[in-house]
């Protein structure tokens, strides 16, 4: 009688007030509730993916990966919260600035979709890559016009600047002899190329060995690649850009001491350097000084100058893709060139957000946290395009640690 009043079952009675059947029912209800919460939090395909036989990674063209890729391709517009003064008032207001022209998705949602895609082993789409390369060949033609050469810019040419279009530089005999006879690179010359951005996303990635294994390596704006960073970013370089503003700000336009700059370049061994000498008239003298300085030191390093018409065509090409800025970044210039020079392109260190895909805050560069000049580049637009290109199998964007 006492056991019945306290709610316990009598084993001999055949009843099961809180016995095995009740506990089983409670467990089933709890499992159903957890499953429902997972469905709400992680999307309609979560349960299917969870129950599939997962052995470490999926084939890129598997059913699961096609669904994950489509989820990213469905993002046509990325909304970014930025502060802006409204109609002349002195207070900021947060609003969403779209990257393209359709329905919006927050960066946090894009990050989640990008994280989900990481279970898929990337594979190149020959068709998508070929079509993209054909588009670049028609508009830009890096194998013929990436650099100014004696072939594409004969002596006596009146070379028009990229931005200062009213400015014209006569190609005198003195200028002409600084140009290579022809382009040093050809179409699809290299099998696998790595383009290294300077983003903080590459910090602690341990991607150095993987990067150094590429057939050709591009870097932007002479970043540090010494022992402190080489485990993450590698140590090899084949072509590195130099922004003339770096020469002006860090090396006093090479008007006085030139050896410090020469010693910085020694970190890049025999790599070639390329400068936008004909972006505007201010860049020309500084860029030419780099060539003169290396000649004075009897350097065998190649010094090239971007062809202004090539850069203008690249700007127009990416504007159609939604990258509208005063100027495309050095990284995007190199990625564009690499797509024509290489069979397969891998990107490291390209990210334009203050957090990595896992939501952890990162520094702007892997070596400092100095922010770029606002409004000059459109870095989020560029990364957004790279993510779409990765999803289509055109290039491989690496944002996680290397194994």
Cα–Cα distance for residue pair 142/146, rounded to 1 Å: 4
Q: Which residues lie closer than 8 Å to 372 by C-beta, 6 or more apart?
A: 364, 379
Residue 187: exposure state from Cβ atoms within 10 A (0-12, 13-18, ≥19): middle
CA–CA separation, 396 vs 378, rounded Å?
20
User: Which SS3 state, helix, strand or coil, does residue 92 take?
Assistant: strand
How far from chain centre, in Å, is Cα 126?
21
Phi/psi at 298 (5° precision): 55, 35
Query: Under a CB-based contact definition with an 8 Å cutoff, are residues 194 and 211 in contact?
Result: yes
User: Which two tokens mark 91?
Assistant: 């207070």
Say if residues 241 and 273 touch (Cβ distance below 8 Å): yes
Dmax of the chain from CA atoms?
A: 114
CA dist 319 and 317 (Å) reads: 6
* Cα gap 88→380, rounded to integer Å: 26
Q: Report whether 79 contacts 104 (CB < 8 A).
A: yes
User: CA 115 to CA 104: how far, in whole Å?
Assistant: 19
Any catalytic annotation for residue 377? yes
Question: Per the residue annotation, which of 307, 346, 377, 381 is the catalytic one?
Answer: 377
- Using DSSP bridges, classify how beta strands 190-196 and 168-170 pair: parallel, antiparallel or unpaired: unpaired
Dihedral of the alpha carbons of 367, 368, 371, 373, in degrees to the nearest 10:
-70
> How far apart (Å, rounded) are the C-alpha atoms in residues 401 and 403?
7
To the nearest 10°, the Cα dihedral for 309, 196, 335, 287?
10
Q: Are 385 and 335 in contact (CB under 8 A)?
A: no
- Active-site residues, by number, are 377
């Amino acid at each position: 009688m006492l056991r019945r009043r306290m709610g316990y079952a009598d084993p001999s009675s055949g009843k099961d007030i809180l016995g095995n059947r009740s506990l089983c029912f409670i467990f089933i209800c709890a499992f159903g509730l957890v499953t429902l919460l997972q469905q709400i939090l992680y999307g309609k395909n979560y349960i299917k993916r969870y129950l599939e036989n997962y052995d470490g990674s999926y084939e890129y063209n598997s059913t699961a990966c096609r669904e994950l890729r489509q989820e990213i391709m469905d993002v046509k517009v990325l909304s970014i919260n930025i502060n802006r003064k409204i109609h002349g008032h002195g207070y900021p207001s947060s609003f969403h600035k779209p990257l393209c022209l359709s329905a919006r998705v927050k960066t946090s949602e894009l990050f989640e979709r990008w994280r989900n895609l990481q279970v898929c082993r990337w594979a190149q789409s020959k068709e998508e890559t070929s079509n993209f390369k054909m588009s670049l060949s028609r508009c830009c033609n890096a194998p013929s016009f990436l650099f100014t050469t004696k072939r594409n810019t004969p002596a006596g040419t009146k070379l028009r600047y990229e931005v200062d279009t009213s400015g014209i530089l006569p190609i005198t005999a003195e200028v002409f002899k600084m140009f290579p006879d022809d382009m040093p690179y050809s179409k699809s010359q290299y099998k696998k190329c790595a383009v290294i951005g300077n983003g903080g996303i590459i910090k602690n990635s341990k991607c150095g060995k993987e990067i150094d294994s590429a057939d050709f390596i591009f870097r932007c704006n002479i970043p540090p690649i010494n022992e402190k960073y080489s485990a993450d970013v590698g140590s090899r370089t084949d072509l590195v850009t130099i922004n003339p503003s770096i020469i002006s700000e860090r090396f006093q336009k090479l008007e006085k001491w030139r050896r410090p700059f020469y010693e910085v370049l020694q970190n890049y061994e025999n790599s070639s350097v390329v400068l936008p000498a004909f972006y505007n008239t201010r860049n020309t003298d500084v860029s030419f000084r780099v060539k003169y300085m290396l000649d004075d030191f009897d350097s065998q390093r190649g010094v090239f100058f971007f062809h202004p018409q090539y850069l203008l065509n690249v700007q127009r090409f990416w504007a159609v893709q939604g990258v509208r800025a005063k100027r495309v970044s050095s990284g995007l210039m190199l990625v564009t060139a690499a797509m024509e020079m290489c069979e397969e392109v891998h990107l490291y260190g390209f990210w334009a957000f203050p957090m990595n895909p896992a939501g952890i805050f990162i520094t702007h560069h892997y070596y400092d946290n100095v922010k770029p000049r606002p409004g000059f580049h459109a870095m989020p637009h560029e990364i957004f395009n790279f993510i779409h290109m990765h999803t289509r199998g055109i290039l491989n964007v690496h944002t996680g640690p290397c194994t």
